[in-house]
Structure formats: structure tokens, C-alpha cells
Chains A and B, each alone.
Chain A
Amino acid sequence: MKKLLSLALACCAALLVSTGCGGAPQLDGLDNYSGVITLDGEPLAGASITLVPTTVGPRGAGAMSDDKGKFVFQTLQAGDGVAPGEYKVTVTKTHWEDAYTEEEQKILNESGGKRHAEVFPDRPEPTAVSDIPEYYKSADMSGLTLSLPEGGAKDLKIELSSEE
């Protein structure tokens, strides 16, 4: 009886060992970085941040900020982290003006590929309008940089100003 039980336990252990591995390939040497982005001191929600590597080596990375302006950088997968190093930062946040209503979008879709002006001659085309100064889009003009230390960081700050 005891033999049987110990055999059963051994089988359980074997099962646990055999089912552990597998899954998607991961990039090596990444650390976790997170922080808060603000515009004039207020948290900026829904901003798209990218890290532009200043040397050829590491890949770029990025994040989108949540309702409280918090962001967690990722390279390929959510939560995979970023290679430590020096980065330039770009930030984009836009909203649509004159966006199509659901009905208008449907009409456009069913027009068989016609352009806006043919379908809605009297209506302005939807345009994306930036909520922050445009220069934050450019890695060379944004003036923002981040130095990501080895081992990760949780208290990064990206501070934007709406003054042009």
C-alpha cells in the first residue's frame, strides 16, 4: 500500500516537471521600466510614448499611458520590458475632429472604395488633431531623453509642457 502511494507521488512529481516549459521565444537582457507622464503637471492619459535608441544596438520600445498617466514600457510583448540604455523619447496624443459617425462610416464602407470627397462633398474630412505640441512627435525636437539604468526602474517621469 505504501509502495503504491509513493509511486503515485512520484508520478505526480514527474507530471509537474514535464509540463513546465514551452511557449513563445523571449528577448534576452530586458528589464522592467514604468512611470508616469504628465502635461503641465497633470497626468496625461492615452499618450503613445516611444523610446528611440540613440545607438544602433538596442531595439526601440514604447508604451501607452493609462487613465492616471501611468505607463509600462514594452518591446515586443506586453510586460517584456526594455533593454537598459540611453533613449530619446517621442510622445504622440491626438484626437479626431469631424470623425465619422457610425452611420457615415457605414456609408463610406459600402461605397465600394470611393474617396471622402466623392461620398461627402459638403463635409470636412476627419482630421487628427494633436493634444500636445507637435514637436514631441520628433525624436530630435522633443528634447526628451530617458536613461534606463540596469535592473529596471518604477519611478520614471516624463514631463511635458503645453507651451510651444
Chain B
Amino acid sequence: MLKSNVKLGGGGNLRKVGFTLVELLVVIAIIGILIGLLLPAVQAAREAARRMQCTNNVKQLALATMNYVDANADTLPLGQDCWGATPGSGVTREYGVRVFLLPYVEQAAVYNLAMEYYNDGVKFWESGADLKEIQIDGYQCPSDGGTKNLIDGYRTASYVCSYGDYCPKTEEWGWVNGSSGRTDYARGALQPKTWTPLASITDGTSNTALFSETVVAVNGATTFKNGQACSRSDVFGAGTGHNSCELSGFNPQTCLNLKGDTTSYRSDVTVYQARGKRWGDGQLPFGTFCTILPPNSPNCSIGGVGDDGVSVRILSASSNHSGGVNVAMVDGSVRFVSETIDCGNLTGSTIGDNTGLCKRSGKSSFGVWGALGSRDGGETDVN
């Protein structure tokens, strides 16, 4: 039924019944405030959904690894590949674990394409745009807006594999470095150039980290989460060798000191954009992390600006989730690891011990975080 807004008043004059302008404005203001109240909640819900998606992605990678293990004589895939079946061939293709898991994440077509390049002896970074630019949604964390972009012609990937509580340096590119034997080393679930047997994960598959995340490199915007501080002789001592993290000059706290504020490096730090760049590349800054500095810490390298594959590094897990990162264990479970996790004493060697913090065997120096990284440290305090 239609009602008229206009009534005849006593004196026969027209009198309008309705809102004054002020009343209307007040109502609009109240509605605005109510929406303002609601909006943060909506945004938080959206971020929670993205985080859940991100958690699921990293879990799928861990499950894919388990399927790989089942299909490949109980060994985990290579963290980084080299090519040529015979040790000493001195050639590598630098493909990373994210390529070897493709058939187990329903991406067999992409895998076949990658293997065409691989078998032709083409490194991942030398391959064509048809491979370099392929977007695999499951390899990107929706909480990180930077993954929408190509960087230097490469698609990025958010998930990085664990090399454990050690700073590896994939020195040389063959299976064996000349006659001196293998000179790189990793203590995590995955290793460069070596298939880890499942049986060698003696700390237990639910206590050993497999994959975590990194905030990916973005052109023109550097944070300590996606950038890598270069030429840090104060972190690694004067040592540039593959084992400099085992020497007394190694001081991870010095890398932590490079945080200038809550997001950036100090202004006097030289930074290279490296993390997560090149989705299929297994080289250290693109595809790996180590459990030395806590989540959302800076990354440091002894080498100069650039990809410089023969540089020893601290690479940290990082994310845009509030307060920590997702970590998938070898058994496929996913934990959220806080930035304040116990990392032991990061300030270098102390009393009566003139060696560096990184160890090749035994209990990790880096607290619970280091214990989660090592596959055979024998730690008992990870829960």
C-alpha cells in the first residue's frame, strides 16, 4: 500500500514528514562506523582463509614427497639435482625438488616439459619461457601478494625445502668436486646431490622439517624476508669455504642484527633479491631454507650481489602470516612455528670451544628449531 509523504496540515499548508539533512548524515555516519567495525573482521577472515590454503599447499608438498618415497625405493627426492649418472661428471642441471615432485602433484605435463630441457642438458635458468613462466598454483602461498608477478622472467614459488641446521654451499656443480670428494653438506631431510634414505631420518619423520615457506622476491621492494644481505664477512668470519659455519668466526646473531625495523634491513646493507625466485631452480636462495635463525629473520650470504651459486648462506623461513611460518614435517603433518621459537645461543661459540656452531653430527646448537631441522641429531627436546 502506498502512503503519501505529504499530509495536509491544520492550516491547509503542506508539511513534509521525513528526515532532516543532519539526521540523514548521522545515520550515514553510523552505518559507516558499523561497516568500519565489520571490515577488519572480514579482512581477518579472508587472511585466515588464505593461510589455510597456504597450509594445505605445504601439506600437499609433504604428501607428494611421501608418494615419491613409496615409488622410489624409500628415498626422498634430491633437494637440488645434478646431471649425469657417474660421480665426477662435474655437470649439474640445478633443478630443484619442486620439479621432481611435479608428477606427484598432478603436474605430469609440466614435469615432462622440464625433463625435455633436462635431458638436453639445459639448466633450469637457461630454459625457455614455456617452462620458466609456468604458474603452479600449489607452489604459491596466497598470503604473499608478491607471487602474482614474474621476476626477471621467472615465476616464483613460496615453498622451500629444509637443508637442516647447517649452512650448505653447493660448491661446484657435479656430484663430486674433483678428487677431493663431496664438499657440500646438509643436515636436513633433503640434501643437494644426495637422495636421503627415509631410514636415515632417525630423529623421526614427525620431528623433522621437510618444507616451509619464504616470502618471494619482488622487483623494487626489499624486505629482510625476501632479500638476502650480501658480502657479510661479519656473519661468516673471513671464511668463504663450504664449512665456514663450522669455524669459530661464524656468528648468526650478526645476521639477525641487520634488521633495521619491523620489515626492512638497515639502510647500509647491500641486498640481493633472491628468495623464491625461479620456481623450479634448486639453488640455495631459490629453493631452500635452514633452521638456524628463527622464522621471519634476515638472510645472509658471504658472496656478492647476484645469484653466485658458490656462496655459503644463512637462509631463513619467512611468511606474511602473523608471527611465524608453516612447516611441513616429513610425515606430512604441518606445524605453525612461532618467531620466538628457541634457537639456542646464536652468538657464536663460547666457553672452551673454539669451533663454529654448525655440526655435522650430534645434537643441534640451535635449540628446538635446529632440532626440528636435523634429521639425525638425536635431540629429545623437539616436542
Q: Which residues of A contact B (CB under 8 A)?
A: 1, 4-5, 7-8, 11-12, 14-15, 18-19, 22-27, 46, 48-54, 59-64, 74, 76-79, 88, 90, 92-94, 96, 99-100, 102, 105-106, 108-109, 112-115, 125-130, 137-140
Interchain CA distance A77-B352 in the complex, whole Å: 30
Interchain CA distance A100-B306 in the complex, whole Å: 12
A15 contacts across to B, CB distance below 8 A = 33, 36-37
Q: Which of B98-106, B107-115, B249-257 contacts A (4 or more CB under 8 A)?
A: B249-257
* CB contact under 8 A between A25 and B340, given known A1-B22, A60-B253: yes
List 15 other contacts, CB 8 Å, given A14-B37, A61-B253, A74-B259: A4-B27, A4-B30, A15-B36, A24-B322, A24-B323, A48-B251, A50-B257, A59-B343, A64-B258, A79-B261, A94-B233, A102-B305, A105-B306, A115-B310, A139-B347
Where chain A touches its partner, the secondary structure class is: mixed
Contact yes or no, A24 B348, CB < 8 A: no
Chain B 227-271 interface mask (CB, 8 Å, partner A; 1/0): 000010110011010000000110101101111111000101000
Interchain CA distance A89-B261 in the complex, whole Å: 23
Contact yes or no, A53 B251, CB < 8 A: no
Contact yes or no, B123 A112, CB < 8 A: yes
Q: Looking at the assembled complex, report how far the CB atom of A59 sits from the nearest CB atom of chain B, in whole angstroms.
A: 7
Q: Identify the closest chain B residue to A93 (Cβ).
A: B234
* A-B pairs with beta carbons under 8 Å apart, 10 shown: A1-B23, A11-B33, A23-B323, A50-B348, A59-B346, A64-B258, A76-B339, A92-B251, A113-B94, A137-B237
Does chain A have a CB within 8 A of B173? yes
Contact yes or no, B26 A128, CB < 8 A: no
Does chain A have a CB within 8 A of B197? no
Q: Looking at the assembled complex, report how far the CB atom of A130 sits from the nearest CB atom of chain B, in whole angstroms.
A: 8
Q: Which residues of B contact A (CB under 8 A)?
A: 22-23, 26-27, 29-30, 33-34, 36-37, 40, 92, 94, 123, 170-173, 231, 233-234, 237-238, 240, 248-249, 251, 253-254, 256-262, 266, 268, 294, 296-297, 304-310, 322-324, 338-340, 343, 345-352, 354
Contact yes or no, A50 B308, CB < 8 A: no
Interchain CA distance A114-B116 in the complex, whole Å: 25
Q: Looking at the assembled complex, report how far the CB atom of B348 sits from the nearest CB atom of chain A, in whole angstroms.
A: 6
Interchain CA distance A102-B230 in the complex, whole Å: 13
Contact yes or no, B345 A105, CB < 8 A: no
Tell me the number of A-to-B contacts counted with CB atoms below 8 Å. 160
A125 contacts across to B, CB distance below 8 A = 240
Interchain CA distance A116-B237 in the complex, whole Å: 19
Contact yes or no, A78 B233, CB < 8 A: no
Q: Identify the closest chain B residue to A58 (Cβ).
A: B345
Interchain CA distance A139-B266 in the complex, whole Å: 25
A77 contacts across to B, CB distance below 8 A = 259, 262
* CB contact under 8 A between A106 and B306, given known A27-B340, A48-B257, A77-B262: yes
Select one of A27, A52, A74 contacting B350, CB under 8 A.
A52
Select one of B23, B37, B173, B340 contacting A11, CB under 8 A.
B37
B266 contacts across to A, CB distance below 8 A = 64
Q: Identify the closest chain B residue to A138 (Cβ).
A: B248
Interchain CA distance A109-B303 in the complex, whole Å: 10
Interchain CA distance A136-B17 in the complex, whole Å: 85
Interchain CA distance A24-B320 in the complex, whole Å: 11
Select one of A11, A76, A90, A100 contacting B304, CB under 8 A.
A100
Q: Looking at the assembled complex, report how far the CB atom of B283 sits from the nearest CB atom of chain A, in whole angstroms.
A: 8
A138 contacts across to B, CB distance below 8 A = 248, 354
Q: Looking at the assembled complex, report how far the CB atom of A142 sits from the nearest CB atom of chain B, in whole angstroms.
A: 11
Q: Looking at the assembled complex, report how far the CB atom of A164 sits from the nearest CB atom of chain B, in whole angstroms.
A: 17
List the 3 closest pairs (A to B, CB-CB), nearest first: A60-B347, A128-B233, A109-B306
Contact yes or no, A76 B173, CB < 8 A: no
A19 contacts across to B, CB distance below 8 A = 40
Contact yes or no, B172 A115, CB < 8 A: yes
B258 contacts across to A, CB distance below 8 A = 64
Q: Looking at the assembled complex, report how far the CB atom of A42 sits from the nearest CB atom of chain B, in whole angstroms.
A: 19
A62 contacts across to B, CB distance below 8 A = 253-254, 256-257, 347
